[in-house]
Structure formats: C-alpha cells, structure tokens
Amino acid sequence: MGSPLNHKARKRFGQNFLHDPNVIEHIISSIAAKSDQHLVEIGPGKGALTEHLITHAGKLDVIELDRDLVPILEDQFSGHEHFSIHNIDALKFDFSSLLENSSEKLRLVGNLPYNISTPLIFHLLENASIIEDMHFMLQKEVVERMTAAPGSKTYGRLSILVQYLCRAELLFIVPPGAFDPAPKVESAIVQLTPKNQLASSNDMKVQLNGTPADLAFIAREAFSQRRKTLRNNLKKILRNEQITQCGIDSGRRAETLSIDEFVALTNQYVLNLENSNLTE
Ligand code: SAM
C-alpha cells in the first residue's frame, strides 16, 4: 500500500504539491474537462489534480517519473476504467502513442516540475499537431516569457516558438503558499492552444518554409547578445542585404521584431541552406 503521508517531497523531481482547495478548484474549472475528451496529466504527484480530472474526463493518462508515487496513485485511482499510469520521464515520452484513432486530440494538463519546464515545453510543442490544448502551472516568470510581446524585456526565444505555434494566455497567478513545500517564487497557470486548433488563426501573415527548429535556431542566434543588433548577431548566417530584403532594418535589436519578421528571417536562412546544397 502506498501512503501519501510516507512520501517525502523530492527537490530533484521538482516536487511542490498543491494543497490549496480554492486554487485546485480554479485550475479544474479552467480546464473544464468533458466526458468525451482524452486528458493527459504530466506529473500527477499524489493526485491533487488527478482526483478531480478523473471524474470529468473520458480517458485519463498520467505520466509520473517518481516510482515511489506510483503505488500511491494506484491505490487511489486504479479502480477507474479509463485511467492509466505511465512511470516514465515526460521528456522522453511519445505522446502520439496515446492516440486511439487518427482524429483524436489530447488535452494536456499539469503542475509541471519547474526544473525541466523549458525543455518539456519544447518537447510538447513538437507534438502540437496532436494536442487540442494545454493548461500548465509554471513559474510566473516562465509564463511571462511565453506570453511576452515584442519590445518587452522578457520577449525571447521561448516567446517566439510558443507564440508561433500556439495562442498563449496567462490565466491566473498562484502564490507560493498554495504548495507544500512552498516554492521560492510565484507561479502562474498558462493556457496554450495550438494554432491549428483555432478556427480563425489569421494572426500569422508569413508562412514558415522551414521547421520550428529552424525558427528556434534563428531566434537563439538573434538573441545571443541581447544588446547587439541583428546585423551583428546574425552576421555568420545572413548577409546584411538579406536582412534588409526581408523588410527589416539590420540595425534593429532582436527584441523589437514581430514573430512574422522572425519567420521571414528564418525563410531567408532556409533558402540559403537550399542554395548552398545546390552548389555543393
Ligand atoms: N500534480 C501534483 C500536484 O499538483 O500536487 C504534483 C506537481 S509537482 C510540481 C511535479 C510532479 O512532476 C512531481 O510529482 C514529480 O515527481 C513529477 N515529475 C518530475 N519530473 C518529471 C518528469 N521528467 N516526467 C514526469 N514527471 C515528472
């Protein structure tokens, strides 16, 4: 038998367990799971969210790395028919393996382990085509970076990738006291909706010719030295006149560029790669 009382929170697994019933209720009502939906919870811990999700969702898969938590989850939930536990690292998990048919989409939720939040978000974004939406608790600072607009101090590679693929919205802020143990920082719930799920996604005017990984590469290079100009940061990748041909002044800084402008620079970079392959 696994008892939640015997389990000691582990820092290396980013364990901060939710215990505030009002916060839990707010998260559950924001998700509003329905009986015909397939939900996936990342990092269920001792089941604070799971116990509510399981009563609403049609199917619930949970992915938990800490094997000591598995018996605790089994004791509570294994009697439910459409419930499965996967004792595995979410970073290595193949989310498409959960799909029961080609038209099914997954709804992802979780109070995520903060120590792996950015790589996990990148891993999940690779699966955007099979995801209906995501509701995650993250450090407030990470949610602010995801939702930042051009010109703001927190706008960077994460904002560009997330907002290229998803509509991102900060739903509400959660104070440290809602968790046990309490983290040092404030947290926030973010809602991410992949753009292919949105009926009217006309906010993107420029089509990406490369992959999201190409876009991430250009964003990383453009922001490599935040105070420097694009001309400087991109000099090994794009010629000055190629930046200008994209309609962008090469004396600008990366933080002033819209997502469309990043897409235009990426397209130029992909074109250069194709041309260099032709001449090799
Ligand atoms: N959902 C619970 C709650 O709100 O009380 C626990 C949240 S706690 C912040 C994060 C959970 O993610 C822990 O249960 C931890 O063991 C689990 N976890 C950490 N790293 C993980 C990984 N790589 N893959 C899957 N789960 C992980």
pLDDT number for residue 204 = 64
Task: List per-residue pLDDT tens for the chain, 280 residues long.
Answer: 567 767 888 888 989 999 999 999 999 999 999 999 999 999 999 999 999 999 999 999 999 999 999 999 999 999 999 999 999 999 999 999 999 999 999 999 999 999 899 999 999 999 999 999 999 999 999 999 999 999 999 999 999 999 999 999 999 999 999 999 999 999 999 999 999 766 555 566 788 998 899 999 999 999 999 999 999 999 999 999 999 999 999 999 999 999 999 999 999 999 999 988 777 6
**Looking at ligand 1, which residue's alpha carbon is closest to its atom 3?**
17
Q: 89 C-alpha to center of ligand 1: Å?
A: 10
Burial of 249 (0-12, 13-18, 19+ CB in 10 A): exposed
Q: 45 C-alpha to center of ligand 1: Å?
A: 5
> What is the pairing mode between strands 187-194 and 131-139?
antiparallel
Q: How many CB atoms lie within 10 A of CB 94?
A: 8
Q: Tokens in use for 62?
A: 């949970």
> Which ligand 1 atom is nearest residue 120's CA?
23
pLDDT number for residue 192 = 97
pTM of the entire structure?
0.93
> What is the pairing mode between strands 17-18 and 83-86?
unpaired
Q: 44 C-alpha to center of ligand 1: Å?
A: 6
Q: Tokens in use for 83?
A: 């419930």
Mutate to test the pocket of ligand 1, among 10, 19, 66, 93 (most ligand atoms within 8 A of CB): 66
Q: 65 C-alpha to center of ligand 1: Å?
A: 7
Q: 70 C-alpha to center of ligand 1: Å?
A: 12
Q: Residues with Cβ < 8 Å from 245, sequence gap 6 or more?
A: 268
pLDDT number for residue 202 = 57
Mutate to test the pocket of ligand 1, among 111, 116, 117 (most ligand atoms within 8 A of CB): 111
> Which ligand 1 atom is nearest residue 17's CA?
5
> What is the pairing mode between strands 59-63 and 38-42?
parallel
pLDDT number for residue 169 = 98
CATH for 212-279 is 1.10.8.100
What lines the ligand 1 site, CB under 6 Å?
13-18, 42-45, 48-49, 63-66, 69, 89-91, 111, 113, 116
* b/e map 166-187, b = 16+ CB within 10 Å: bbbeeeeebeeebbeeebeeeb
Q: What ranges do the domains of the chain cover?
A: 4-197, 212-279
4-197: CATH class = alpha beta
